[in-house]
Amino acid sequence: PTPGASLEAAVAAANRAMLAKLIPSQQAIIDHAYQAVLTTIADGPAKSNGVAVAEKAVAAVLARRANDGAAAGESYRPHTSAGTYVPTVIPEAPQWRYRTPWLMTNPSQFRPGPPPDLGSDVWARDYNEVKALGGKRSQQRTAEQTEIARFWEEVMPPIYHAIVRSVANTPGRDITRNARLFAAVTQASDDGLIAVFDAKYHYGFWRPLTAIRNGDIDGNDATERDESWVPFIET
């Protein structure tokens, strides 16, 4: 914390400045909550300094991320041939692979190796495992595996922010440590999403639904087509 600045005022002001930028339609609610906190802090230089340093910090973060590519228009081009029907739902956030990372050197820094060759034993093994355990009507998936799948169905913020909140609420934690924890987890999670989208769109590999319903065209005798297979969880 900046010497001579109220930490409580800084936290309140930072929240207000960031939320007002992200969800301006909720300005009245944001301001009401902000003023409710400020009334609990004694007027004086510490309060004013806390507000000032917070607003400066938020402005710096927003400026740094102003051109990070998150708001870039998507230009995904479906693979097809002229006159052939393809589903018209645009994949989620194809432009995110081009975003500026927080901590990574570039979006492809941790790009994994390519998917297995369709004619390989590895592909046949993975194909048949997903087909057997990942289908909506699977008779082989255990109850425990089903619960595990449901747990990991949630994406990063709902899972990891809940964990962070449980840590932040433990005795002995203070605002500064908690703020740094939330910042570190959020930046790492966001970079993780950038890396995931980079890999997805770099390889453009088919999803299980497509692969299993077309198992007869992958050139692998160990993969049998299931024309009605659907995943346990829609992806």
- In DSSP terms, which residues pair with 135 in a beta bridge? 231
> Would residue 230 count as lying in a domain?
no
* Start-end of H helices in 39-120: 45-64
Query: Percent of the chain beyond pLDDT 70?
Result: 99
> Would residue 221 count as lying in a domain?
no
pLDDT over threshold 90, residue 86: no
pLDDT digits (tens, 9 = 90+) for 118-130: 999 999 999 999 9
More confident residue, 22 or 92: 22
> Would residue 35 count as lying in a domain?
yes
Which band of pLDDT confidence, cut at 50, 70 and 90, is reported for residue 197? very high
> Would residue 2 count as lying in a domain?
no
CB-CB contact of 30 with 20 (8 Å): yes
Q: Tell me which of 80-84, 107-111, 209-213 is least confident.
A: 80-84
Q: pLDDT at position 38, please?
A: 96
Same domain, 179 and 112: yes
Same domain, 45 and 99: no
Q: Which domain does 160 fall in, by range?
A: 94-213
Same domain, 18 and 123: no
DSSP H or E segment with residue 145:
helix 143-151
| Mean pLDDT, range 57-79, rounded to an integer | 88
Q: What is the pTM of this model?
A: 0.85
Same domain, 99 and 60: no
Task: Please return the burial class of 121, using the count of CB atoms within 10 Å of its CB with bins 0-12, 13-18 and 19+.
Answer: exposed
Same domain, 204 and 101: yes
At 172, list the tokens: 């002995």
Q: Please count the structural domains in the chain.
A: 2
